[in-house]
Amino acid sequence: MISPIVLEVCVVCLGIFLLMAESFSVKSNKVVLAHGAIFGLLCVFILSFFIDASPAQMQSSGFYVVDDLAMFFKRFAILSTIVTLILAVDYLPVVQRLVPSEKPGAGTGEFFVLPVFTCAGLMWMASAADFIVIFCALELVTISLYIQVAYMRRSLASLEAGTKFLILGALSTGFFVYGITWIFGMTGQTGLAEIQRNLTINTEANQMAILFGLGMVLVALGFKIAAAPFQFWVPDVYQGAPTPITAYLAVASKAAGFLILIRVLEPFLTVLAFQPKLILVLALLSGMTLIYGNLAAIPQINFKRLLGYSSIGHAGYLLAGLAAVGDAFAGRAVVFYLCGYFLMTFLAFLVLIPVAKATGGDDISHFNGLARRSPFLALGMLIAAASLAGVPFTVGFFGKFFIFESIINQHFYGLAAIGVVTVASGFYYYFKVIRAMYWMPPAEDAAPVNISFLAKLAVAICAVLIVVLGCYPQLLIQALP
Amino acid sequence: MSSLSPLLFLILVPIFSALFILLGANPRSTSILGSAVNLLFLLALVVFFRPMELGYQFVSTFPVVPHLGISFTLGADGLSLVMLFLSTVVTLAAVCVAKTPDNNPRWYYASLLLISSGVIGAFASVDVFFFYMFHELALIPTFLLIGIWGSGDRQAAAWKATVYLATGSFILLLGIIGLYLIQPIGTRSFDLREMIANAQAGLIPDAPGVYLLLLLGFGILVSLFPFHTWAPQAYACAPAPASMLHAGVLKKFGLYGLIRIVAPILPDSVQRFAPLLLVLLVCNILYVGYITIAQRKLDWMLGYSSVMHMGYIFLGFAALNQLSLTGASLMLLSHGLTIAVLFALCGEIRERTGTLDFSELGGIARICPKLGLAFGFAAMASVGLPGFVGFAGELLVFFGAFASGEAKMGIVDGVEVFGFNFYQIATICAVWGIVISAVYMLRAYRRIFMGPLPERWSRLPDLSGFSRASIILLIAVMLILGFFPQILVNLATPSLLVP
C-alpha cells in the first residue's frame, strides 16, 4: 500500500515539473500546462483511493494525521484545484491582456502552476495535527495565493486586491503565531493531541491565558474563513483578483480554514470549562457573519463582489453548524454544507467567466438576457443561484436544513431567528441574477458566449450533482467522515 | 422499498412534459396532452381508490435521509385525492387557457407544468418534509412567470411575492423542524403517519412556539391577515394561468397543511391560540372584504377576493370540529375551482379589451354571451349560492364554527344565559362576509357585462376553442359536486382526524 504522504509529494513534484517544463519549453501555448496539471491532479485523486489508511509511524509522530476527515479534505482540495484550473483556462485571454510581456502568452505559465502548489499546501493542512505544521501549511497556501491574487499586473484592481490581501493576511498570521505562543506557553506543547492531554490532566492551568491564545488563533482563522468582524478584505479582494482565483479563495481556502478550525477547536471543546465559552463565541461570530454577509450583499451590483459577500454569508451558516457541535450530526452537516458550497460556488464562477468574457464585465447587468443567448449557461446559473439561495431540490437546501436542524436541536433560537432574515435576503440577492438572465432583454451588441469543452463538462457535472444531491443527499452523507 | 406508487406517475408526467418542452417539443400541445393524461390517470386512480378504508392508499416509500427519518413517501387518502383532483383539473384548464406568448414560450409552459408537479407532489406526499419541498418547487417558476409575462407593475409584484413566500416558507421550515424535534427521541420521524401515531399515543407535548411558527409560516403562504399584501398584487399582475394555479391550487397548500398536520398533532395549541386566529381571520373576511369592494379593476378585485375567502377556511380550521373541518376541506376545492374560472375569464377579458378597469368596460354580455354566462356562474359560485360546492362548504363551516367553543347560550349549569363565545362572534362576522362578496361580485358583473356597450367593444369575439372547453369543464365540475357534495364529504371525512 502507499503511504499517505506520497500524495503531497506527488503534487509538489507535479508542480515543480510543470514549472520546469514551462521554463524550458519553447511552446507558447500554455494551455498544455493547465491540461497537464489537471491530468496530474486527477491521477493523484485516483491514487488517493489506494492509500494505506493506518500508517502507524505517521500517527505516532503527532505531526501528521490521516483520518477520514483528512482524506476527505485532501480530495476536496484536489478537486477544487482541478476546477480552478478549468476556470483558469477559460480566463487565459484576460490574464494575457493584463500581464506585461514581450511576446503574447509569456508570463502566463505560472498562472497554471501556482494553484498546484497551493493544492499541496491545502492537502498538508488537511493532515496537520500540530500548530507548527498547521502554520507552515497555512503559509504555503497563503503566500502562493498572494501571488495569484495580484497576478494581473496591469490591472489596478488586482494589484490593490493583492496588497490588501497581503497586508491583512500578514497581520492575521501575526495573530496566529502570537496565539500559538500563548498556548504553547501554558501547555508546553504544540501538538494538538498533546495539548488535549495536558488540558485534561492539568486542569489547574491558567485558563484565561489559554483562552486568550485561542482567541488570537480564532482571529487569524476568522480572517481565513471571512467571518465577521474579520471580513473587511473579502469584497475588494474577491472583486479584484482574477476570477478563477476568486473562486479558489472562496471555496478551497475557506474550506481549509474550516478544517483547521475544526481541528484546533477539537481539543479545547473536550474541556468542560472551555466548552460553553467557545460555543458562545462561535454562535456570536456566526450571528454577526450571517447578518453582515447577507445584508451587505443586498445592494451589490457587481456579481463577483456579490459572491464575495455571499461567501461571508455562507461562512455564517457554517459557523452556526460548528456552534451546534453538541448535536451528533452537526459535524457532518458542516462538511455536507461545504461540499454543497463547493458545487454551487464553482458552478456560479464557471458561468461567470464566459459571460464576463463575452460582455466585458462582471456586473449583474452583464447577465441580461443570458437565457436567450445561452440557455445552457443560464440554466446552470439558475441552478447555482437557486442552490445558493436554498431552494428545495438543490444541495444548498439540504445544507441549510441540516445546519438549522442541528442548531434548533441545540436550542440556539436566536441564530434560527437571524436565519429567517438572512435566508429571505439571500433569496432577494440571488434572484437578482435570475431576474437579469430571464426577465431582461440582452444587450444589442453582445458577443456570442463561448465556453470550452472542459468548462462545459464541469458546468454539467456541477449542475447535475446539485440536483441529484438535492433529491437524494444520502449519497453524499454516506461518504462523509 | 415497497412497490412504486402510481402517484409518482402523476408527479413525473408534468416534469417530463416540461423537460420535453425545454428540449424542443411543441410547448402548447405537449403541455395540454401531459395535463390531460394526468387528469385521466387521476380519475383512474379514483376508481381504484377504496373509500371505506382508513389510512393512506397507493403508498410507496423510499428512505432519503434515514438518520433523520426523512423518506420519500407517497400516498393518498380521501382528502389528498380531492386536492389532487383539484390540482390536475386546474392544471389542465390553465394550460388550455394559456395564450402562447411571443417571447420564450418554452419556459412559459415549462414553468406552469413545474408549478403543477410541485402541487401534485405536495398533496401526494405523506412525508412532511417532502410535502414542504414540493411546495417550494413552485417558487422559481412563479418568479419567472410573473416577472416575464406578467402585466402592470409585474417586477414589483414578483419581488414582493418571492420575498414573502421565501420568508414564509423558511419560517415554516423552522416550524417543521420544531415539529420533528418535539417528538420523543427514538420515534422522531418526518412521516406524517408516525407523527400522528405519536400524537395519539400522547407522546408529543403541547408546543405553543412550534404552533406559532407553523401558523405564521402557513399563514404567510395562505395570505392570512396581516401578511396578505403580496397576494392581490401578485395575482393581479401574473398571467392568467399562473394566477389560476397559484390562487386556485398552490395557496391551498397552507390550509391543507394546517388541517392535515397541525390540527391532529397540536390541537391544544390550536385551541389556546384560537382567539388570535379568529381575530386575524375576521380581519381577512371583513377588512379585506371592504378593500375588495373598493377595487376599481377586476384583476385586483379577484386578487383581494381570493384573500378574503381564505378567512372562511381558516374559520373552519380554527373551530376544529368534524363539521367545520369537513366544510373547510370542501371549501378548499370549491374556492380553487371558482377562483380558477374567475381568473381564466379575467384573462380572457384582458386579452380582448386590454383593460380591466370597471369604468371603461360595460355591456360585454351582449356580444359575448357565453363569457357573460360563465362569469355569472363563477360569480354566483364565489358568493356561495346553493348549487355550487362553495355553498355546502360555507354552510358546514358556519354550523361547525357556531357549535364550537363553550356554550354561552341556552341553559348552562342550570342558569339561563344568552351570549356568544368567540367562535360564534367570528361566525356572525363571517356570515356578513357573504353579503360583502355578493356586493362586489354582483357589482363587477354589472359594470363589465351589463349596461350600455361602448362602441369600441362592439366587435369582441366570444369564448371559443380550448378556453371555452376548459371553462366549461371547471364549471361542470363545480355544478356536479355542488349538487352532490356528499361525494366529497364521504371522501374527506375519514381523513380528518378530529382531536
Domain residue ranges in chain B: 1-271, 273-499
Average pLDDT across chain A, whole number = 86
Local structure of B226: helix, strand or coil: coil
- Torsion sign, CA atoms A103, A106, A108, A109: positive
**Interchain pair B166, A434: CB under 8 A:** no
Residues of chain B positioned with their CB less than 8 A from the CB of A431: 143, 159, 162
What is the residue type of A249? L
Interface predicted TM-score (ipTM) of this complex, two decimals: 0.87
Q: How many angstroms away from the CA of A83 is the closest CA of chain B?
A: 28
Span A26-40, average pLDDT: 81
Burial class (CB in 10 A: 0-12, 13-18, 19+), A57: exposed
For A68: left if phi > 0, alpha if psi spans -120 to 50, otherwise beta; the answer is alpha
Cis peptide before A229 (omega within 30 of 0): yes
- Torsion sign, CA atoms B286, B288, B292, B293: positive
Residues of chain B positioned with their CB less than 8 A from the CB of A427: 162-163, 166-167
Q: How far does Cα A342 stand from its chain's mean position?
A: 7
Residues of chain B positioned with their CB less than 8 A from the CB of A405: 68, 177, 180-181
- Contact by Cβ (8 Å): B179, B210: yes
* Residue found under cell 498544455: A32
Q: How many angstroms away from the CA of A318 is the closest CA of chain B?
A: 17
Q: Which of B167, B448, B166, B172 is nearest to B301 (CA)?
A: B448
Q: Which of B299, B301, B335, B331 is nearest to B317 (CA)?
A: B331
Span A122-135, average pLDDT: 89
* Res A106: pLDDT: 67
Q: Does B122 touch chain A (CB under 8 A)?
A: no
- Contact by Cβ (8 Å): B206, B228: no
* pLDDT at A178 exceeding the cut of 90: yes
Local structure of B248: helix, strand or coil: helix
Q: How many CB pairs under 8 A join A and B?
A: 87
* pLDDT at A479 exceeding the cut of 80: no
**Interchain pair A393, B139: CB under 8 A:** no
Residues of chain B positioned with their CB less than 8 A from the CB of A294: none
Burial class (CB in 10 A: 0-12, 13-18, 19+), A211: buried
Q: How far does Cα A126 stand from its chain's mean position?
A: 13
C-alpha cell at B167: 420568508
Gap between the Cα atoms of A277 and A283, Å rounded: 10
Between helix B322-353 and helix B369-383 the angle, nearest 10°, is: 150
Burial class (CB in 10 A: 0-12, 13-18, 19+), B98: buried
Residue of A372, A409, A423 lying closest to B166 (CB–CB): A423
Gap between the Cα atoms of A322 and A310, Å rounded: 18
**Interchain pair A428, B159: CB under 8 A:** yes
Residues of chain B positioned with their CB less than 8 A from the CB of A372: 104
- Torsion sign, CA atoms A222, A225, A231, A232: positive
Q: Does B253 touch chain A (CB under 8 A)?
A: no
Gap between the Cα atoms of A256 and A390, Å rounded: 23
**Interchain pair A405, B177: CB under 8 A:** yes
* Res A55: pLDDT: 55
Q: Which of A76, A398, A410 is nearest to A257 (CA)?
A: A76
Residue boundaries of the structural domains of chain A? 284-481
Q: What digits encode the pLDDT tens for the residues B339-375?
A: 999 999 888 888 888 888 888 887 888 888 888 888 8
* pLDDT at A150 exceeding the cut of 70: yes
Q: What digits encode the pLDDT tens for the residues B43-83?
A: 888 888 887 777 788 888 888 888 888 888 888 888 888 89
Gap between the Cα atoms of A81 and A94, Å rounded: 19
* Res A8: pLDDT: 86
- Whether the pTM exceeds 0.95: the reply is no
Q: How far does Cα B396 stand from its chain's mean position?
A: 18
Q: Which of residues 168-197 of B touch A (CB under 8 A)?
A: 170-171, 173-174, 177-178, 180-181
The DSSP string of B110-145 is HHHHHHHHHHHHHHHB-BHHHHHHHHHTTHHHHHHH
Residues of chain A positioned with their CB less than 8 A from the CB of B162: 427-428, 431
Residues of chain B positioned with their CB less than 8 A from the CB of A371: 104, 107
Between the two ends of chain A, the Cα-to-Cα distance in Å is 21
- Contact by Cβ (8 Å): B210, B266: yes
Cis peptide before A375 (omega within 30 of 0): no
More confident of the two residues B497 and A254 = A254
Q: Which of B166, B151, B90, B82 is nearest to B393 (CA)?
A: B82
For residue A235, report the phi and psi dihedrals to the nearest 5 degrees.
-60, -45
Q: What CA dihedral angle connects A166, A172, A174 and A175, to 10 degrees? A: 170
Gap between the Cα atoms of A217 and A476, Å rounded: 31
Burial B386-409 (b: 16+ CB within 10 A, else e): eebbbbbbbbbbbbbbbbbbeeee
- Torsion sign, CA atoms A51, A54, A59, A65: positive
Local structure of B415: helix, strand or coil: strand
Average pLDDT across chain B, whole number = 86
Q: How many angstroms away from the CA of A362 is the closest CA of chain B?
A: 23
User: What is the biggest distance separating any 2 CA atoms in chain B, rounded to whole angstroms?
Assistant: 76
* pLDDT at A26 exceeding the cut of 70: no
Gap between the Cα atoms of B225 and B379, Å rounded: 23
The DSSP string of B451-480 is SPPPGGGTT-----HHHHHHHHHHHHHHHH
C-alpha cell at A352: 461567470
**Interchain pair B178, A408: CB under 8 A:** yes
Confidence of residue A347 (pLDDT cuts 50, 70, 90): very high
User: What is the biggest distance separating any 2 CA atoms in chain A, rounded to whole angstroms?
Assistant: 73
* Res A317: pLDDT: 92
Gap between the Cα atoms of A80 and B218, Å rounded: 40
- Contact by Cβ (8 Å): A74, A127: yes
**Interchain pair A329, B67: CB under 8 A:** yes
Gap between the Cα atoms of A15 and A10, Å rounded: 9
- Contact by Cβ (8 Å): B456, B355: no
C-alpha cell at B343: 381568473
Half-sphere exposure of B205 (CA within 13 A, CB side): 8
**Interchain pair A438, B147: CB under 8 A:** yes
Residue of A392, A409, A439 lying closest to B136 (CB–CB): A392
Mutation target vs B (from A400, A402, A408, A439; most B CBs, 10 A cutoff): A439
Q: What digits encode the pLDDT tens for the residues A287-303?
A: 999 999 899 988 888 88
Confidence of residue A166 (pLDDT cuts 50, 70, 90): very high
- Contact by Cβ (8 Å): B164, B227: yes
Q: What digits encode the pLDDT tens for the residues A41-84?
A: 999 888 888 876 665 555 556 678 888 888 888 889 999 999 99
Confidence of residue A343 (pLDDT cuts 50, 70, 90): very high
- Contact by Cβ (8 Å): A62, A4: no
**Interchain pair B136, A391: CB under 8 A:** yes
